[in-house]
Structure 1
């Protein structure tokens, strides 16, 4: 599995083979990523454990709803054991129809709202996406709630993930029509379960990125860490509960790392500029936010942190939305 843009460390306990899934452990770290740069300079204390606990909760929630996942067990305080699949290389694509024990090289993105920070607004403005493609009649307002979920696909084997259409996604995955429809239906179900849970605890689940693997028995299995702030856009009272806050800070202060331009110009990664560090006062605020979000989401009270209304108010006051 790719780790360059991940905030998780991967330990392989049992390697996957062509005929059998393996076993792995994710350690959720306090690192964060923005702009497809990879891990940024700062660590946010407690983020890893808060995210791991949310991931474990979500896997149990989704399995109770009938979704098959790769989750095996939670290992306190910040690790998850899971069924491990092989990650395909570029030379393996498109996948053959009979592939087994393999992570699909495509993310499924399901959007139910279009808040500030959603790439849909940027792509509509640039003309790389049309309202019709997004199931819209007109340009959407920031924060608009969609009547029907908007499902998209993105590659997972490029330096920067690329949006692709459904036909391209199906070709890359090697899935036949029935199994590709199952992939879509399962993604919408996962999004619905997470969105309903978010609403029940006072949050808004605006969009989510979902990954799947093909198990040794050819079944489709939900993978990665659905519904966590690294994979979903969660809002409370209009304030982002995750890395969009940090992305906004870099942009607002003209400190964004131009990764797309650097890649287009062929600049090797070791020559990319080092991102600026966050101001010291940001880190405890973000630490409280992640921990408070986890407590709100899971119902567990583990840390002496402000409640989510207070934590998000502090974020809005010190960092911005």
Structure 2
């Protein structure tokens, strides 16, 4: 669901899930909708409360990660989650406007998804060598940095080698991105583990402030940008139960959809089960009831 005309600000961009508005004075308003995307398509069926979960969980994570960012001389882009138009309260953030870097910073602590397929083919994830004998769901010896491009709407993100990151942002910035991404992942994985959740992988996006400082932007550590697995059910060797949109991906695959034609409507039970997974992730991580 889009915010509609209640947001009386210039529209800067409309993404798969969010609208971005110019709030003036070097600020943007990020409004998360209930839309859900999979396989580079926006599905026709929204997930109730999804936008609120994404926003409120991101706000919580920004607070948890602020001390680590400060130790790295970095910061995050969140200015306020309350000083927003009433029509979008709960699903909007007022943030610092940044020059976003053209890299998606992916951290993996477990083998899953496209990483599994690449490993089975080559024994590595692009230029990151991995030990033999791993299976779907295996914990990696240590977290790895497997960045990707930021694709235009309708196109696919593509995994890239670290040397390509260097070409895109420079050697010093590339090293900074890798180090900070992995430290953020480690910190978040520890917090998730305390909540009974395995953080299998996640992606971060960074921008540069006017003073040249590195800033964590976009959303962080949500069920849209991460794989969350119930720790008590983790069992390497197969796809894992999850608190993220993998459930929707699995249903789409089983439905026979060809990923080229317009995606099908989601059945009511799939919508309800997806909402439950998103809310469960929020409640377990934050220790609070979703309202």
TM-score by length of 1: 0.76
Q: Which of residues 110, 113, 122 is equivalent to 2:110?
A: 113
CA distance in 2, matches of 1:132, 1:286: 31
Change beyond 3 A, Cα 1:203–1:155: same
Which runs of no fewer than 5 residues in structure 2 stay unpaired? 1-11, 83-88, 234-239
CA distance in 1, matches of 2:137, 2:276: 25
Change beyond 3 A, Cα 1:152–1:284: same
Determine if contact 1:135/1:150 at 8 Å carries over to the other structure.
Answer: no
CA distance in 1, matches of 2:173, 2:111: 28
Deviation at 1:126, TM superposition (A): 4.5
Match of 1:275 in 2: 263
Provide, for residues 226-264 of structure 1, a one-character-per-residue CA deviation record: whole Å limited to 9, x for no partner. 111111111113421111110011112212414xxxxxx
Change beyond 3 A, Cα 1:278–1:213: same
Q: Which of residues 5, 24, 46 is equivalent to 1:14?
A: 24
Match of 1:160 in 2: 156
Aligned-residue CA RMSD in angstroms? 2.0
- Structure 1: which 4+ aligned runs deviate by more than 4 Å? none
Which runs of no fewer than 5 residues in structure 1 stay unpaired? 16-21, 86-101, 259-272, 304-321
Provide, for residues 190-234 of structure 1, a one-character-per-residue CA deviation record: whole Å limited to 9, x for no partner. 111111111010001011111111111111111111111111111
Provide, for residues 126-183 of structure 1, a one-character-per-residue CA deviation record: whole Å limited to 9, x for no partner. 55x736843313252111000111211111144211111111111112x3x3332221
Change beyond 3 A, Cα 1:71–1:108: same
Determine if contact 2:118/2:126 at 8 Å carries over to the other structure.
Answer: no
* Equivalent runs, 1:1-321 vs 2, <5 Å: 3-4=14-15, 6-14=16-24, 22-37=26-41, 39-67=42-70, 68-75=75-82, 76-85=89-98, 102-115=99-112, 118-127=113-122, 130=124, 133-158=127-152, 159-173=155-169, 175=170, 177-236=171-230, 237=233, 238-258=240-260, 273-303=261-291
TM-score by length of 2: 0.83
CA distance in 2, matches of 1:132, 1:278: 34
Match of 2:7 in 1: none
Determine if contact 2:125/2:146 at 8 Å carries over to the other structure.
Answer: no
